[in-house]
A and B are shown apart, each in its own frame.
Chain A
């Protein structure tokens, strides 16, 4: 019954998101929704580690950037097709996650934060150093890709939108599968009480490493997709704004929930776009909003949806009881 509910939720999401391009003609809106989907995927995969596993790390932006840079480099220097390039982005992120995870996950807490943060700067330095490969400060520009001999751009807005939607659904199923698996059970156990979890047979290092690697794959895929979509890769991929967007999506939406980070990413992306007129004050308003949500809704905005649902179902229940009594 539980999986039926999930199937219905997925169908509803696919239905709503796939009719939008038919109803909304402004390309700009589609662009914003697409960004929201991509950022939502990266955030919700990060949430596997932060929210479900309680291991706070800062490697998600490096994963995203590794996906972007690997696909751009192979595409520019070796003419790799974007479809394979997107997969390569995921693989690059997985390799990076092993390089970071094997040493870094032996420590926890603030040490894990610092260690993973160090990799952020190591990667950025490497990108800036190997100018011949990465284009340094200037970055790399990707050529548009035509489908066969036609003049249709492979990354035209409609194709891009539905590719992002496919990734979005794939990510949801992927995360739900992990949460419902043995790994998910172990992750939550480790978050709730690490010593107790280990005393019940869980190998913490193994579970953390597996989760770290799993949650890097789609971040890399999204980084690759994003770069192909923008047709440019620059060190801006390591920008603070990505870190803040992903993290804020998790916090605002709901830490350790399936839909929270996705909801958070949509709210944030739309908010950021609609607050553009505030210019430099935008980040201040944004920061205030995060503080307010943390104070008044520490479990995130997704709690509002859950509460509405429980009120609705409790009404149904009480109605049911009345019916029976009558």
Chain B
């Protein structure tokens, strides 16, 4: 079904080296419009590095990245964001001395929500209020961000991205570290974001959440793609099980 949609984000043979070690090695994949695309893999598989080179926190060493028919691998982090490709960080980042509302205001002010059209003040205020409502942060709008707990920090980081009306939202472990109630709420939020037409790229360690949310999943290991497809298919794949369980699994199998 999703295969009929147009690709919105395409990586062609991208690599990233740290010294002689390849953190991401000749990786190609496509993400289609309005899908939730999950990325998983053992620790050190290169998932966050992949996010960093797509968003240009780190420059890509080889390969090309295309977003909406436009090559973006030479653009800077801030201009990629203004085009409509937003991301969050694994360790919640925030503007700690600003209020919750001001944190969202930063995205609205510099993220170009109307894509080139200048917003008037009233519209921007409404947009910020709507985003705070949508992410459930309205009651905490005047709290200094430094005082927020983990869950709210994660929500705030998503709110400051959503306020710019991104086309693609890349979430780096939005659920890790949360309790059951909070993670259910974040999963519900991710579904709602997707329902509004936003394509979601999702890195998540918690397999239950990843498999439940994603339409397609890519499994990475040592910087390479070892498997891609629908969650139920991927979960049964031999190479995936092997990558996760490693040597112990092989030893067990050989006995």
Contact = CB atoms under 8 A, between A and B. Distances in A.
Contacts of A204: 78
Contacts of B161: 200
Given A185-B102, A185-B105, A186-B106, A201 B97 contact: no
A188 B97 CA distance: 8
Contact of A192 (B57, B94, B105, B112): B94
B89 interface: yes
Interface residues of B, number: 27
Contacts of B102: 185
Interface string B149-172: 000000000001100100000000
B94 A201 contact: no
B110 A186 contact: yes
A196 B94 contact: yes
B55 A200 contact: no
Interface string A182-195: 10011011011101
Interface in B110-163: 110-112, 160-161
A285 B28 CA distance: 65
A197 interface: yes
Interface string B58-98: 00000000000000000011100110001101000111111
Contacts of B41: none
Given A185-B102, A185-B105, A185-B106, A201 B111 contact: yes
Nearest to A191: B97
Q: Which among A182, A185, A186 has the greatest number of chain B C-beta atoms within 10 A?
A: A185
A189 B160 CA distance: 12
Interface residues of A, number: 18
B103 to A, nearest CB: 8
B98 A200 contact: no
B239 interface: no
Given A185-B102, A197-B106, A201-B111, A192 B96 contact: yes
A199 B94 CA distance: 11
Nearest to A192: B95
Contacts of A271: none
B109 interface: yes
Contact of B110 (A191, A192, A193, A201): A201
B95 A201 contact: no
B98 A201 contact: no
B77 A199 contact: yes
A195 B112 CA distance: 18
A204 B79 CA distance: 11
A189 B109 CA distance: 12
B106 A189 contact: yes
A272 interface: no
Interface in A182-234: 182, 185-186, 188-189, 191-193, 195-204
Contacts of B57: 195, 199
16 contacts: A188-B95, A192-B95, A193-B94, A193-B95, A197-B95, A197-B106, A198-B76, A198-B81, A199-B55, A199-B77, A199-B81, A199-B87, A200-B161, A201-B82, A202-B106, A202-B110
